[in-house]
Amino acid sequence: MLEEFKKFALRGNVVDLAIGVIIGAAFSRIVDSIVGDIFMPVIGAVTGGLDFSNYFLPLSKEVTAASLAEARKQGAVLAFGNFITIAINFIIVAWVLFMVVKGMNKLQKAEKAKEAPEAAADVKLLTEIRDILKDKGAA
């Protein structure tokens, strides 16, 4: 049984997954920093310091607080501002990840183009003949 577990744990897919999770956790901190330290302050400056996170709707007459944290202590609240903030964060994170994946795809295409072997001389000649014949047939 120990030998089976060892084979399972050291299988390539499991190790790759573990590495992916660890790198993903580290990358998550980078993305959180980009959102919290770079993008959100810019959005706050553009909107005049508007902070959605404290917008709420009290669901009880007992709630009289001005901040969300205090209002939650007093009773039920609908924290729509917090949802808006989280939705904006999600959009920014999704955009940053999209740009990262797009950049990585571009790098991979460039690497594949470098690695592509040059065609043999006879294959090049046949390709040129085919293209010439195709052009004459289209004309």
The rounded radius of gyration (Å) of the Cα atoms in the chain is 28
Q: Distance between CA 27 and CA 97 in Å, rounded?
A: 10
Q: What is the pTM (predicted TM-score) of this model?
A: 0.53
- pLDDT tier for residue 116 given thresholds of 50, 70 and 90: low
Is the pLDDT score of 63 beyond 80? Answer: yes
pLDDT at 1: 84
DSSP track, 57-92: EESSTT---SSHHHHHHHS-EE-HHHHHHHHHHHHH
Contact 59, 78 (CB under 8 A): yes
* Six token digits for residue 85: 């903030």
